[in-house]
Amino acid sequence: MHKTTILVGAQWGDEGKGKVIDFLTEDVEYVVRYQGGNNAGHTVVIGDDKYVLHLIPSGILHPGKICVIGHGVVIDPKALIDEIELLKSKGMQVEEQLKISDRAHVIFPYHRKLDELRELKAKGIIGTTKKGIGPCYADKVSRVGIRIGDLFDGKYLRGRLSANVEEKNAILRDFHDAAGFSVEEIFNDYAGYAEYLKKYVCDSTYLLNEAYRAGKSILFEGAQGTFLDVDYGTYPFVTSSNATAGGACIGAGIGPSRIERVLGVVKAYTTRVGEGPFPTEFESGLKEKIREKGGEFGATTGRARRCGWFDAVLVKCSVDINGIDSVIITKLDVLDDLKTIKICTAYNYKGETYSNIPGIPGFLEECEPVYEEHPGWGQKTSDITEYENLPENARKYVARIKELIGADIMLVSVGKSRKQTMPCG
């Protein structure tokens, strides 16, 4: 059994990681979030219950599993407390299972406000979740951020908060013509949050490395997806963290030589939420049909997701950047009714054919996808539980994806529940 696994989204997020993590958690002892914040939304269905988790790793739904929010995550304490309360009300043993890094950066109300106003004012909007993620990471990198551990030192917190609020209020007032914030109000609210969260806070890097040394199995769960990564994604239409596998080493404090396996989750087609280039996006008609059938609405904001054909160039890149060993294909059943299914195998751009994504400005916006067509299978697959029993054309489609992206296919999923997940080959 693998002791350490990183699981990443290999497209633009929303690949169905929540379900896969939940499935894999049976075999691990620790589940760790390493980047992003409550912009993420992992949906897990257990029996008749549906859980949407934004910050807490989905491992929390399994008794006894230790769930860690690493220091690469940005935490909105109020959102986290609400999530804890909800899980507790459903009988989950959160106090025994949850650990929060003392080095994780904290989202404040001014981060949310600036995120919202920047989107309103910007010429080309990004379509953020408006949760304050970008401004919080900006403060972290600007070395003015406030970390979870800082919330317990009143004097230090007040000093940092006063300086930050003064600066943010000036931007809000002078640039956005908006009202500012009161240091006292924020200080009091956050002192209360700190008191509530105290029992969960620890040096999570130490905890995880001790667990590693003791031979425990650890799953690092990525949020968002590879092409939303701030370095590798479709910049500037990205999130503000490293959603790729390398982000796990940074955001959880585990060295690269300690990672044994990287898994990628892909949808059998492609989706993206928010703005930005999307070469294989469907024309209207199919767009609505797949959105309806796949329930393609954001788990965090409820926004309709954009849908398109499977893009093998994109996923092959993802296999390379993340070092993905095996892939899990989700939502194959959503394609059941299609007569013909396309896969993008290359891009044409200004008279040349590309099998990669060069950093040419406007490349993904202007390129023409090169497609190959596959016959559909015209049969319901959601009640199939053995890979061998999938229709032949569905298996051929999966086999072709494997060939194009150059990674093994580990699992294929044909529905929301745990039992609709089959090992492949």
Binding of ligand IMP at residue 421 (CB under 6 A)?
no
In whole angstroms, how close is the CB of 133 to ligand IMP at the nearest point? Answer: 4
Which residues in 6-65 contact ligand IMP (CB under 6 A)?
A: 13-14, 39-41
Nearer to ligand IMP, 99 or 111 (CB): 111
Size of residue set near ligand IMP by CB under 6 A = 20
User: Residue 280 interacts with ligand IMP (CB under 6 A)?
Assistant: no
- Catalytic one among 22, 42, 333, 374? 42
List Cβ neighbours of 199 (8 Å cut-off, separation of 6 or more): 95
CB nearer ligand IMP, residue 131 or residue 374:
131
Task: CB nearer to ligand IMP: give 5 or 234.
Answer: 234
Q: Point out which span in 59-67, 232-240, 246-254, 330-338 binds ligand IMP (CB under 6 A).
A: 232-240
Task: Decide if 111 is catalytic.
Answer: no
Packing angle, helices 77-89 and 183-197, rounded to 10: 40
Among 25, 38, 43, 128, binds ligand IMP (CB under 6 A): 128
Of residues 238 and 338, the one with the C-beta less far from ligand IMP:
238
Site residues for ligand IMP, 108-127, by CB under 6 A, read 126-127
Distance CA 271, CA 331 (A): 12
Instruction: Give catalytic status of residue 49 as yes or no.
Output: no
- Name the token pair of 168: 């943010």
Q: CA 308 from chain center: how many Å?
A: 19
Written as one string, the DSSP assignment of 346-386 is EEEETTEEESS----TTHHHH-EEEEEEEE---S--TT--S
Token code pair at residue 329: 């294909």
* Strand bridging mode 218-221 / 4-9: parallel
Does 344 bind ligand IMP (CB under 6 A)? Our answer is: no
Sheet containing 98-101: order of strands: 201-202, 98-101, 66-69, 30-33, 218-221, 4-9, 261-267, 326-330, 408-413, 421-423
Q: Which of 68, 228, 249, 390 binds ligand IMP (CB under 6 A)?
A: 228
Position 229 contacts ligand IMP (CB under 6 A): no
> Strand ranges (DSSP E) for 268-331?
270-272, 306-308, 310-311, 326-330
- In the block, tokens 């030192």 appear at 153
Residue 331 or residue 374: which is nearer to ligand IMP going by CB? 331
Binding part of the chain for ligand IMP, among 131-139, 187-195, 211-219, 329-337 by CB under 6 A, reads 131-139
Q: How many Å apart are CA 425 and CA 421, to the nearest integer?
A: 13
Q: Are 33 and 53 in contact (CB under 8 A)?
A: no
Does residue 329 touch ligand IMP according to CB under 6 A?
no
Dihedral sign from CA coordinates of 171, 174, 180, 183: positive
Residue from 224, 234, 280, 318 binding ligand IMP (CB under 6 A): 224
> Does residue number 221 form part of the binding site for ligand IMP (CB under 6 A)?
no
Catalytic residues: 14, 42
Residues that bind ligand IMP (CB under 6 A): 13-14, 39-41, 126-129, 131, 133-134, 223-224, 228, 237, 239-240, 273-274
